[in-house]
Chains A and B, each alone.
Chain A
Amino acid sequence: LAKTTQPISMDSYEGQEVNITCSHNNIATNDYITWYQQFPSQGPRFIIQGYKTKVTNEVASLFIPADRKSSTLSLPRVSLSDTAVYYCLAQNTGGFKTIFGAGTRLFVKA
């Protein structure tokens, strides 16, 4: 399981673009990078997943450089409701050993 490192917390303002970078220096060839979002007293919610280059969906974009040793989750024009904990995972063993770290606490201010 590749160890991931991400900022403990970040602050932003409504309407801004937020980029959260995750470091995974020992990522393995068949590891995928997956991001989850968690609101207080709720379960994590899958946001986006990628292997390399760029992935975009209706919620976010995920940028992965060629060496795959880091990734950046980009949230366009955040709102107050985007205040949550965001988890970065880099692993390949399916759900069997999905291990969550401390995540990044994003606080969006008005």
Chain B
Amino acid sequence: ETGVTQTPRHLVMGMTNKKSLKCEQHLGHNAMYWYKQSAKKPLELMFVYSLEERVENNSVPSRFSPECPNSSHLFLHLHTLQPEDSALYLCASSQDLDRDNEKLFFGSGTQLSVL
């Protein structure tokens, strides 16, 4: 248990569906992240939030919409996804963004399949 909880653990959706991924951290951290990991590929950074403000949007298509209502919760809203969006979506948190020795704490991820 890392202190970062993601739900659902698995999700199957059609291309016309709208769904949301949820992440909650119980560590008192100020920064939260979304990563995407496709099969046999390195993790790709998608979004970064610090104190509920988005500080990074890594050229992610608009069909992915993040939301950070407070420093403990992070959502990823999904709509009109494509089959190539099928991947493991990982949420992470860190104490802050500006320390040289920052460490990331990851959730277990949501395995998403788009049909």
Contact = CB atoms under 8 A, between A and B. Distances in A.
A100 B90 CA distance: 13
A52 to B, nearest CB: 12
Interface residues of B, number: 31
Contacts of A101: 42
Interface string A46-68: 10010100000000000000000
Contacts of B92: 43, 95
Interface stretch (B14-22, B60-68, B74-82, B97-105): B97-105
Interface of B: 2, 4, 31, 33, 42-43, 45, 48, 50, 55-56, 88, 90-92, 94, 96-109, 111
14 contacts: A34-B103, A42-B109, A43-B2, A44-B43, A44-B90, A94-B94, A94-B97, A94-B99, A94-B100, A94-B102, A96-B97, A98-B102, A99-B45, A103-B42
Given A41-B88, A94-B99, 12 more contacts: A41-B111, A42-B108, A43-B4, A43-B109, A51-B101, A94-B100, A95-B92, A95-B94, A95-B96, A96-B31, A101-B42, A103-B42
Task: Sort A-B residue pairs by CB-CB distance and give the 10 closest, nearest first.
Answer: A43-B106, A94-B102, A95-B94, A100-B43, A92-B100, A96-B97, A32-B101, A95-B102, A43-B90, A94-B97
